[in-house]
Structure 1
């Protein structure tokens, strides 16, 4: 059974329902699958059984988007795309293939294929690709219909301007890539990875990305376009988009190389830069396995590191600003075995004036970083000190946690309804030994109940949201749970840690189930659509804690509460 339709922006969804999609595949089962997936989103679906028929359908019908298999009789997908591109350079195309050969990928890129999907087909990946290319189609249709009277009316009422700004900002957010949206770093170490992105205007000169390269390595990018306005924003977004594109290819081919990433992105952006224009960029790799940080810093503010002795270490830039005349660059390595916290940031943060006369935030950033256990605490201190944001402010805050030596309670529970109540009582008893703050204890119990229930019904029993809602409507939900739990020998494991930092205690609770996990990327949809029923428990949990973080598999969640408060 297909999942419920993913939530889309109303403007995008309305426009998608006016589009015609050409699906080219020689496999009948795949064509049936496409029809089931796309029928809720697209006005009309046109099918073809091979590349030759697909090209004929493209010529004879008004097609807006093409999704095509690569390996087909008569005419393969790339050959068909090559014919299409002769007459249409802009129509969005999604290529589906089980082949990972470099020459296939290179040719596809040369033909300006907009998106790749690897077989076997996964519904969520197909829908994400469709949403992405639909935005291109919508933009092209707008340009064609700009003189339409309705759009002119919107322009006159300033509605159009607001809509364009929303689209521009949405485009910027799509360019930024965050593989750690409510996800912890959980390789050989456990770390909380958090981000603060505060553009001064819609057209931001700052951008960032955080990418998971493999189990042990993560990549962090911070870009600052020197100057303001459209030119700086375009340069920043172009280079960020290109870097993410290169990373995607390297991950696909399993051949990530930092030197080549820096080199290719510089060669890409240098001809685009104006004569007097410059960019500042941080390229940073954290390697938890080898306890190393590899970096190429181009005229960016110093990285701040905090070691286990609570000393601040500053890592300065090892390269000048990027200009069209730059030739060589340097990559350096730093041992991070003794490092607990990291702060990467743009200069808009440190060059901001503060409420203190003649002082810039650079005078306070080290102290605030030292006193902050989480990104939110760092952000609160920043906001309190600055008068008003004078430039784009971007920072990435990473805190490695000691979850081995700080355990204060742990227990495993069977997967049955009686244990849900037992687990709640056990958790409450632990909190009674920690604090007598009634409100805090209540919030902690709300989060525990919601996430423990998720581990029970979604994790170990495997009930997805759509099935749960159907069972509730049929009044068979409780009976189904009882039947499923009878044959379930999986456990739910709870561990509670207490980490003392400065004058505060941070209670960290981890709930892990033995289930298959889930794709945590769907959390971005949940938090953008908080009024929908799906995911309300996760949203409530985030609101009643200092943050929730899933592991990469999606079967373990960690959340925080702060006991004692200290002065900002």
Structure 2
């Protein structure tokens, strides 16, 4: 058991040095027709062993396009793992190079990818890969899929598309790669994945591909989808890699509070949310978990955001027994700063989702450190993050790091 855990840690450490993800636990704020929208991009990367043939990266261009790929080096063991890491290093290096020069160009990226593989694959090796560019403002998707499973798109009107591969898998003999551009359609959800997901077996021996569409369409968020996948196939039969993209508007039924930066205002807000949960018949355990999390996050928004007290200063004040006194002083100085709380329940049949967003007027933090939550969760310090990970189902920060959205299911996991 110890060696299995150690091997998985080694596999995930590849992400820290090779795989790039510019959106760890981030959501992107968008404005459409003067209405605020949220774009959430989540990646599930679960190697079946240390020597994984699956790889991915997700990048964001300077002008706001999302660029990503999922690759599957055919075969097992060291050869497949080396090919996967080689293509990952190259694609990320060339992405950065294009951005530093004249800006990222999708077709140039594809052409360079093919030339690299022609020179670096062995005669018998093949590489399946899906490369995608998503212009989130124009809602335009460009793609080149080489021997990968079909990826799914659901429009804002609920129309479902299954986009099949438009190229065979790549080898040293491949001479060209075709890219396609999908008609501009406002996207509500998108799912890209490797065949480790679709070809894993259900309990009855059928492929998960037989119900993958159903689970994706029915999922209310990425955590809901992950739970469905886990119920269906457990850990799967191969590397499991998928990218889940969701765009949504702020629900009109959500409550909105704008409170001054005082301890009293936080207590009053927490009391109101407690009454809201009670009115919706949320069980006491779930309600306590939500309230403990919100209490911690609101105190963080107050002390770190509004008051500007960082961790080092807080530790110093506490060591010298002057923390409470200093907070009262800062409260008088900064009480006019606002903390915004937006919360509500998203209905979804038998499984409802509580969601809340807390934002302050502080400087935020470098959200790229969030990758350490994924890669070194046990070593990542911070009481707030420990509480979030233990008590919640999912969370997102904005780019600046001064707003957090939390999610918690308030009914039992659906049995399939």
2:313 aligned to which of 467, 472, 482: 467
Measure the CA separation in 1 of the matches of 2:197 and 2:378.
33
2:269 aligned to which of 391, 416, 423: 423
Measure the CA separation in 1 of the matches of 2:380 and 2:73.
41
Deviates more, 1:367-376 or 1:297-306: 367-376
1:397 matched to 2:244? The reply is yes
Judge conservation of contact 1:498–1:508 (CA < 8 Å) in 2: yes
SS in 1 for 2:285: helix
Name the structure 2 match of 1:54. Answer: none
Q: 1:310–1:524: structure 2 CA closer, same or farther, 3 Å change rule?
A: same
2:396 aligned to which of 545, 549, 558: 549
1:490 matched to 2:333? The reply is no
2:18 aligned to which of 170, 175, 183: 175
Name the structure 2 match of 1:509. Answer: 356
C-alpha displacement at 1:533, in angstroms? 8.8
Q: 1:176–1:526: structure 2 CA closer, same or farther, 3 Å change rule?
A: closer
Judge conservation of contact 2:11–2:49 (CA < 8 Å) in 1: no
Judge conservation of contact 2:114–2:177 (CA < 8 Å) in 1: no
C-alpha displacement at 1:215, in angstroms? 5.7
Name the structure 2 match of 1:16. Answer: none
Measure the CA separation in 2 of the matches of 1:387 and 1:163.
20
TM norm structure 2: 0.90
TM norm structure 1: 0.67
C-alpha displacement at 1:253, in angstroms? 3.7
SS in 2 for 1:244: helix
Name the structure 1 match of 2:34. Answer: none
Measure the CA separation in 2 of the matches of 1:534 and 1:324.
46
1:301 matched to 2:149? The reply is yes
C-alpha displacement at 1:299, in angstroms? 1.2
Q: 1:165–1:294: structure 2 CA closer, same or farther, 3 Å change rule?
A: closer
C-alpha displacement at 1:496, in angstroms? 1.5
Measure the CA separation in 1 of the matches of 2:352 and 2:141.
29
Q: 1:528–1:557: structure 2 CA closer, same or farther, 3 Å change rule?
A: same
Judge conservation of contact 2:7–2:50 (CA < 8 Å) in 1: no
1:246 matched to 2:94? The reply is yes
C-alpha displacement at 1:523, in angstroms? 2.8
C-alpha displacement at 1:483, in angstroms? 1.8
Judge conservation of contact 1:169–1:203 (CA < 8 Å) in 2: no
Judge conservation of contact 2:30–2:39 (CA < 8 Å) in 1: no
The runs of 5 or more residues in structure 2 that have no matched partner are 32-36
SS in 2 for 1:487: helix
1:331 matched to 2:174? The reply is no
1:265 matched to 2:113? The reply is yes
Measure the CA separation in 2 of the matches of 1:254 and 1:474.
53
Judge conservation of contact 1:172–1:237 (CA < 8 Å) in 2: no
1:451 matched to 2:267? The reply is no
The runs of 5 or more residues in structure 1 that have no matched partner are 1-157
The equivalences for 1:121-520 within 5 A come to 170-171=13-14, 173-188=16-31, 189-214=37-62, 216-253=64-101, 255-335=103-183, 337-357=185-205, 359-386=206-233, 389-403=236-250, 405-488=251-334, 489-520=336-367
Measure the CA separation in 2 of the matches of 1:331 and 1:529.
37
Measure the CA separation in 2 of the matches of 1:163 and 1:542.
21
SS in 2 for 1:294: strand
C-alpha displacement at 1:304, in angstroms? 1.2
Q: 1:451–1:252: structure 2 CA closer, same or farther, 3 Å change rule?
A: farther
Q: 1:486–1:433: structure 2 CA closer, same or farther, 3 Å change rule?
A: same
Q: 1:288–1:384: structure 2 CA closer, same or farther, 3 Å change rule?
A: same
Q: 1:501–1:462: structure 2 CA closer, same or farther, 3 Å change rule?
A: same
Judge conservation of contact 1:342–1:399 (CA < 8 Å) in 2: yes
RMSD: 2.5
Measure the CA separation in 1 of the matches of 2:9 and 2:282.
46
Q: 1:400–1:243: structure 2 CA closer, same or farther, 3 Å change rule?
A: same
Measure the CA separation in 1 of the matches of 2:257 and 2:344.
12
Judge conservation of contact 1:518–1:554 (CA < 8 Å) in 2: yes
SS in 1 for 2:244: strand
Deviates more, 1:547-556 or 1:261-270: 261-270
Judge conservation of contact 2:282–2:410 (CA < 8 Å) in 1: no
Q: 1:226–1:366: structure 2 CA closer, same or farther, 3 Å change rule?
A: same
Query: Deviations along 1:277-327, whole A, 9 cap, x unmatched?
Result: 111111112212101111111111001122344443201112221111222
Query: Deviations along 1:193-227, whole A, 9 cap, x unmatched?
Result: 22211112211000011112236311121010112
C-alpha displacement at 1:426, in angstroms? 2.1
Name the structure 2 match of 1:33. Answer: none
Query: Deviations along 1:7-37, whole A, 9 cap, x unmatched?
Result: xxxxxxxxxxxxxxxxxxxxxxxxxxxxxxx
Measure the CA separation in 2 of the matches of 1:401 and 1:562.
18
Deviates more, 1:374-383 or 1:174-183: 374-383
SS in 1 for 2:254: strand
Measure the CA separation in 2 of the matches of 1:561 and 1:164.
31
Q: Aligned residue pairs: how many?
A: 408
Structure with greater contact order relative to length (CA < 8 Å, sep ≥ 6)? 2
